[in-house]
Amino acid sequence: MSRLRHPLVQVAAALLLTAPWVLAYASGAHLGNGATVLVSGLAVLGSSFLLAWGAETAEKDVPRAFAIAVLAVLAVAPEYAVDALYAWNAGAGGASTDACTQFTAAQIEAAAEGTKAAACHDANLAVANMTGANRILIGLGWAGIAFYTVWQASKTRDPAVEKRDGRLADAVTIDRSLSTEIAFLFVATVFAFAVPLAGGIGIIDTVLLVGLYVAYIGIIIRGDVEEVEEHVGVPAYFQRKKRPIRVTVVLGLFAYSGLMIFTAVEPFAHGLEKIGLQFGVPEFFMIQWIAPLASESPELIVVAVLVNKARSTAGFNALISSKLNQWTLLIGTIAVVYSLAFGAVGTLPFDEKQTAEIWITAAQSFFALSILINFEISTREALGLFALFISQVAIEFLVLRVLTVGNPEALSINLLYGYTVLYVALGVGLLYLRRDALSEVFTRATNAARTAVGREPVAIESAD
């Protein structure tokens, strides 16, 4: 083995990418926006490799789904931090449903810092950041990784990619072991449609959604440790070590990469925001789209690493697991942080625009799940996911910032409602055609739950 390709050299190279950020962070040095983006971005890149290696090494000792779930939580931790900041500011500033209804949308948008109207603005930003992150994860993440997997298959010989006749017909097959993740995400998605009906995000949402995620973790952690796939490089090197060494390495990689991601992604995102604002990009657009795109980058890098190793099943496991924890833990965290800052159990308020944002986010998730429900995603389906996502963002930007139209805010909300209806209609149609696959997914998820509590699984009739 070449010395430059030795696993420890690769680990050292990844650590070296994080070194400039460690020095800048530890010294408290004030870097310019460009330098901050460069240094923190390199740290995110290096720590993403360390995180991927840690998760792959952990598969030797724990169920793969659990290792991936830990990876997903660490990868999106910065997203929790950004949302928690806005939720805290909203609660500390006294934003409540009654208080925020006293202001017009224009007053909230132009509110001076420290006012109650500004707190209402922060509450809206918390929801906008959360919905933006979730839609990016599917519209760019799921779709992009599907494209990338098919494209890389000619080099990786990924057995999960099926070559089919017809334009854009090639598909990535999803392992049926992901039924538990798909089923839990489906339940969380259906519940998300009801969240705005209570006038905000409250503790009941926290109890139900966090409880759902805890139940999911309780099931997968009791699963069997699968026969370890043949790894190469860094994970293979560490998996050959004795168990105490492996566990120490995995915990070390998780802890260090998690710390790097948590400390570096927010400055990376804010640096991009400031650069965008210098070029006249609106604040709300930066908070909803650019900042979440930055905070989702570690996860997408990790999945790309897995795909490069022909491990697309593990990659999609990470994507689905990340969506599940954002759609459950993230929403629940917002309500808890808001209540702590507010000084009492309360409900994070948001305006009609954010209601529409939550509904379109739930609808996009519903449509995406209707695609995956038969355990595959074709290039054509991935293109549909991407096209719907990017067209909505582009049209809304044109309506709000470029074109001269009467009452652009109302038109923007109607646009979101229109896309919501389209997503739901497409999803219902697909689920009807794939109703046998839907039944199989929930039967397999139920069997996983039965096995976790020591009961015998029921027979499964495959939808194929």
Residue with tokens 């070029």: 279
Helix (DSSP H) and strand (DSSP E) numbers for the chain: 20, 5
Contact 437, 463 (CB under 8 A): yes
pLDDT tens by residue, the chain, 464 residues: 455 578 889 899 999 999 999 999 999 888 888 898 889 888 888 888 888 888 888 888 877 777 777 877 777 777 787 888 889 999 999 999 889 989 888 888 888 888 999 999 999 989 998 999 999 999 999 999 999 999 888 787 888 888 888 888 899 998 888 899 999 999 999 999 999 998 899 999 999 999 999 999 899 887 655 555 555 578 888 988 898 999 999 899 989 988 988 888 778 877 877 787 787 777 778 888 887 887 777 878 888 888 887 778 878 888 888 899 889 988 888 999 999 999 999 999 999 999 999 999 999 999 999 999 999 999 999 999 999 999 999 999 898 877 777 888 899 999 999 999 999 999 999 999 999 999 999 999 999 898 888 888 777 766 65
Give this prediction's pTM.
0.86
- Rounded to 5 degrees, φ, ψ at 229 are -65, 155
Give the 3-state secondary structure of residue 200.
Answer: strand
CA angle 409, 141, 18 (to 5 degrees): 110
DSSP 226: P
Tokens of residue 300, six digits: 């997408």
CA separation for the pair 149, 304 (Å, rounded): 8
Stated length of the chain:
464
CATH numbers and ranges of domains, the chain: 3-450 (1.20.1420.30)
CA separation for the pair 221, 214 (Å, rounded): 11
**Residue 26 to residues 29, 146, 196, Cα–Cα distance (Å):** 8, 39, 42
- Rounded to 5 degrees, φ, ψ at 376 are -165, 160
CA separation for the pair 289, 294 (Å, rounded): 9
- Tell me the torsion sign for CA atoms 411, 417, 418, 419: positive
What distance, in Å, lies between the first and last C-alpha atoms of the chain?
Answer: 44
Give the 3-state secondary structure of residue 80.
Answer: helix
Say which amino acid occupies 49.
F
Contact 169, 428 (CB under 8 A): no
CA separation for the pair 275, 297 (Å, rounded): 18
